Each structure stands twice: as structure tokens, then as C-alpha cells.
Amino acid sequence: MTTRPTNLPPTETRLASLVADWSADGETFKQVPWGKAMMWIFLLSDTFVFSSFLVGYMTVRMSAVEAWPNTSEVFALTIGGQHIPLVLIAIMTFILITSSGTMAMAVNCAYQHKRKQAAVLMLATALLGVSFVGMQVFEWSKLIVEEGVRPWSNPVGAAQFGACFFMITGFHGLHVSAGVIYLMVVAAKLWRGHYDQPQRADPGNYQIVEVAGLYWHFVDLVWVFIFAFFYLW
Amino acid sequence: MSLQNSSGLGSPSQDPLDSANLSQERGTECPAASNNHAQQHPIGLYLKVWLLLFVLSSLSYSVDYLQLQGMLRWSLIILFMLLKAGLIISVFMHMFWERVALVYAILLPPLCLLALIALMAIEANYTFANRLAFFSF
């Protein structure tokens, strides 16, 4: 991956194309389908939403006088008599990465015009997403019922922990749930041949799979940051 | 790992800057996706990145499992996080092959978050000092 593909323009031409695109007094993102450009701009705005949450978390954690709860212990599980720290979160991380992989495969199949394979892979991605949300529900209920963590207080340390936890993971879980619905809708349409209908402006164009994939990979990307800053830090 | 077969831009382009550099790519374009910006890359690349993400996730989990502490812990967490984020954005989200105008429009604005982080860190330190000074714990 260290070599740049030969079909890309050399650096100076890339810079020239950047200047040319932005100063063209016309469409800026040339050859970028509008659906993809719009999804990227939405994801950029979502980046700021999640960053605000994470920066807010940093602020309250740095200013907390009480000790911050040890996440390694809070999220530990005892499986088969073995006490494993943070294990549920690790499993959730692997599930999300697996789902990102199946999504990338789905996008690849869509570009090869393997309609049904792409739909099945998207469905697999959605199912992995459902299992992720299911584990999150388990994690939340364990924390609320067994550990007594509340947004305003908790028995394991600084009171701000609960508010950060519920806000950040809740918002991320909401994104995963929305992504599951989005993927299932696109997969169903793909399976039925909706994107091949002759009355469409561009029949046989499966660009939507890549756009949906962008959203899904973004959800995985956000989890990378949550995993690092909230669970591991 | 070679990316020689990948086609960043599959469509015949009207832009002189592109047509000059991408003319050798015409042969590989997918006929069905001829009027869009086709992102076709060898499946092996995705599998390798997928495997790498698994390895990096295991490494970041082992940072906690081995209970590394202090600067070593934080620097390893940040390192693995950035590597994973970079792989997801550049390969899975195709940023590596995207048009430069879009790449800069998406990747530069989040840099202003650094200012927010700096300001809020100063603010948090100030709050913390005041809490220590005025509330007895």
C-alpha cells in the first residue's frame, strides 16, 4: 500500500486539479456523484456532533475531582468463571469491524454488478449491526440495573461518568440502528431490481450501495474513537 | 501490496487535467457503471485491510488487557486509533482514490476541532483548580 496507483495524477497535477476545481466558477466536485458528495458533507457535520460529545467528555473528565471509574473493571465480564476485563466492548469492536468488512465486500460486488450478492452482504452487515445494538442493550441494562449507574451519579466514581457514557454510546447506538434500517432498505431495493428499472434516469447504477457504505464505515470510524477515548483511556 | 489494477476514475472525463493522466485507465472500466465515478478495487486489498483492522483492534485491546499505564498506554492507544481510522477512511471509504477537491473539503475542516480541544482543556484545568481551591473533598 505504499505505492500510489499509477493511474492517479502526480502530486503537482493533483494540486493543480484542486485549484482548478475550486476556481472553476462551476461544479466543484467534478465527477463525484451528488449522492456521494452529499453523504460526505453529512458525515462531516456528524463528525462535529460526535467531536463535541467527545470534547465535552474530555472537559468533564479533566475537571472531575473524584476519581474516574475504571472502565476496564466496569465493563468486565465473568465468562466461565474467568474474569476478563473489557471483554464485551472488545467483542463489540470486532463485530463492528467485521460488519465494515462485509460492507466493503458489498460495495465491491455492487460495482461488479453482482446484485444479489451485494444485497446478501448488505443484509449480513445489517445483522451484525443488530447484534452490536443488542450487546449495547445488554451493556446498558447491566450498568443501570446491576451497577446502579445513572446520568447524575454512580457508585463507582466521578458522577460525570454516567452522563458521558449514556450520551456518547447512546448517540452512537442510534446511528447504528439508523444504519441498519438504511442498509436493509437499500438491500431490499437492490434485491428487487429497483435500481435496474428502465424508467430510472440511470438504470443499472448501484452507486447507492457505496453511499450507504460510506455511512456504515463512518459509524465504525466513530466507534474507533469512542473505543480509544472512552473505554481504553 | 499493489494497487496497479485499481481504477480510481472509470469514466471518460471531460476535464483536461484528468484525461491527460488517466487515459491508460480506459480499458478497465466497468461497462455497466460507465457514467459514474467507479470505485473498483481488487477484493484482496479489502481483505488485507480487514485483517489489518482486526490485528490493530486486538493490539489496542491488549493495551488494556496487559494493563499498560501512563504515557506508553496513551501513546499506543492514539497510535492504533489513528492507524485504524486512516485505514477505514482511505481504503474502505475510498478517500485514497477520491478527487482532491473533495478530499480537502472533507478532511481539512475537522482540523479546527484542535482549537476547540485546546480551549476546552484550558477551561477544564481552570475548573479543576477552582474546585480544588474552593470545595473541600
What pLDDT digit, counting tens, does each position of A59-101 carry? 999 999 999 998 888 888 888 888 888 889 999 999 999 999 9
Quote the cell numbers at residue B109: 475542516
Ramachandran area for residue A194 (φ above 0: left; ψ -120 to 50: alpha; else beta): alpha
Q: Note the pLDDT of residue B126.
A: 96
Residue A144, in any domain of the structure: yes
Task: Tell me how many domains chain A contains.
Answer: 1
**CA gap A22, A59 in Å, rounded:** 37
Residue A12, in any domain of the structure: no
Lowest mean pLDDT among A30-39, A181-190, B123-132: A30-39
Name residues whose C-beta falls within 8 Å of residue B12's C-beta, 6 or more positions apart in sequence.
B19, B26
User: What is this structure's pTM?
Assistant: 0.84
Q: Is the per-residue pLDDT at A6 higher than 70? A: no
Identify the CATH number of the domain in which residue A164 sits: 1.20.120.80
* ipTM score above 0.90: no
Quick: pLDDT tens for A19-70. Answer: 888 888 888 888 888 999 999 999 999 999 999 999 999 999 999 999 999 8
A·B CB contacts under 8 A: 219
Residue A176's pLDDT band, with cuts at 50, 70 and 90, is very high
| Contact status of A81 with chain B (Cβ, < 8 Å) | no
Quick: pLDDT tens for B71-104. Answer: 999 999 999 999 999 999 999 999 988 888 899 9
Residue A18, in any domain of the structure: no
Residue A16, in any domain of the structure: no
Residue numbers of the domain that contains A82: 34-232
Q: What angle do CA B61, B82, B45 make, to 5 degrees?
A: 90
Using a CB-CB distance cutoff of 8 angstroms, which residues of chain B are in contact with residue A209? none
Show which of residues 96-155 on chain A sit within 8 Å of chain B, judged by CB atoms: 97, 100-101, 103-105, 107-108, 111-113
Residue A205, in any domain of the structure: yes
Residue B88 to residue A224, Cβ atoms within 8 A: yes
Residue A9, in any domain of the structure: no
Residue A11, in any domain of the structure: no
